Amino acid sequence: MAAATYKPLFNRRYLFWLMWAVALVIVLLHATGRETPHTPAEISWQPQPPHWHLFIANVEQHQLQASLNLPPGWNLKGQQLRAALQVGIEDWLLQPDIEQQLTDYGWQAQLLMDSTGLRLQLALPHPPAHTQLDWLSQALPQLSDSLTPQQQQRLMAEWRLDQQQPEPRLLAEFASWLFPTPPELPAWTLIYQSDTVLPISATSAILPDLHTSPLSHSHQREERGYVNQPYQLLGWSVPLATSTDSLVTRRAAVIALQQILDGLPDTHEYRLIWNPLPPQSYLALIVSGAADQELERQLRELILDPASDRLFQEAKTRLQAQDPQVREWLELTARLQLATGNETDYTAAFQQLTTDAIRQQLLILMNPAHQLNLMLKPY
């Protein structure tokens, strides 16, 4: 059998660098700087029944989303957890009573998996009644992380094959460092999307608790492998954002870091990944063709250099050219359980960005106390 052709993800011109709550938000990274039409949108927490209500003007379809924040599926434990949850929810959807109830409601279900978790999307013909939301909240399956022996064997075989490539190997080590013990099984987050405005609840204290993992401690390691060039992963375990201001500033900081990397004269191909969501926020940089102990120090010096103010200003300008009240930002509010009210005004957060705040946020993201430095070199 011919070996599968391996296509590395590294590309200086096309950078896959942010992992967001939904794949569509990636389009925000490629804004051209032109003004975008502003679509009125807001989000509010509704305690009875407990769910988030996402208002988008002129939306054509009512949609209900039940989401689970999950660790990345890079290491074996992460893949096993995701596979078990997916199988369990698929089995639940096929139960006769569940199928019948969804049919009676006219709801169409679609199960989606991305880098940040799992989403059950329900297309609705009409706004859901409170009794229907109550039914869904109670009917969603109890989560289980168990697989059959046959499923485990098949998953392990696929994972071992994947680990023969350098990037998946580095990311698997990073995931194991981020989550030395399996995180708690997450709770469901319900988000209902419609074109109806509801009052914003100020009772943020009743928001359900997030299932989060503690920050990982600094670690450095060098490994050998059957690779044709050296690789290096610099990864950071990051505290979750607690406000829209910190979330927006982190987004600008990651844009600035990309610009710093692009400006290095001897930078090899790289991949930059940021995830802002539970159970653990993280930032990872993989560099191919080099394994340099001085890379982290070099980046830190450039961040502190006053000459980098120009790059921070460019990052600020790029972000401010985008629409701050799009659905993807507001979905992050729900999945991070941020307080509702004036704090969800991303417009103000965009306008109040400063170069000093971007610099300080980069230093927080790249905290050496919570850093993994992993090198993979040829035998």
Domains of the chain, each with CATH number or no CATH: 23-31+39-378 (3.30.830.10)
Say if CB 116 and CB 18 are below 8 A apart: no
Amino acid residing at 114? D
Q: Which of 267 and 66 is assigned the larger pLDDT?
A: 66
Q: What's the rounded Cα separation, in Å, for the pair 112 and 130?
A: 25
Higher pLDDT among residues 227 and 324, named by residue? 227
3-state secondary structure string, 248-273? HHHHHHHHHHHHHHHHCCCCCCEEEE
Give mean pLDDT, residues 214-234: 91
**Rounded Cα distance, 83 and 13, in Å:** 33
Per residue in 127-183, pLDDT tens? 999 999 999 999 998 888 789 899 999 999 999 999 999 999 999 999 999 999 888
Instruction: Report how many helices (DSSP H) and strands (DSSP E) the chain contains, helices first.
Output: 11, 11
Average pLDDT over residues 186-204: 75
The residue behind tokens 């941020």 is 338
Distance CA 318, CA 256 (A): 10
pTM summary value: 0.85
What pLDDT band is residue 108 in, cutting at 50, 70 and 90? very high
Element holding 152 (H helix, E strand):
helix 149-162
Q: Is the pLDDT of residue 264 over 90?
A: no
Length of the chain counted residue by residue? 379
- pLDDT category at 93 given cuts 50, 70, 90 is very high
Could you tell me the two tokens for 266?
A: 């001897």
- Distances in whole angstroms, Cα of residue 314 to Cα of each of 33, 160, 257, 263, 301: 11, 42, 11, 13, 19
**Stretch 355-373: mean pLDDT, rounded?**
95
pLDDT value for 184: 86
State the pLDDT at residue 327. 77
Residue range 297-312, pLDDT digits in tens: 899 999 999 999 999 9
Nearest to 207 by CA among 98, 45, 94, 39: 45
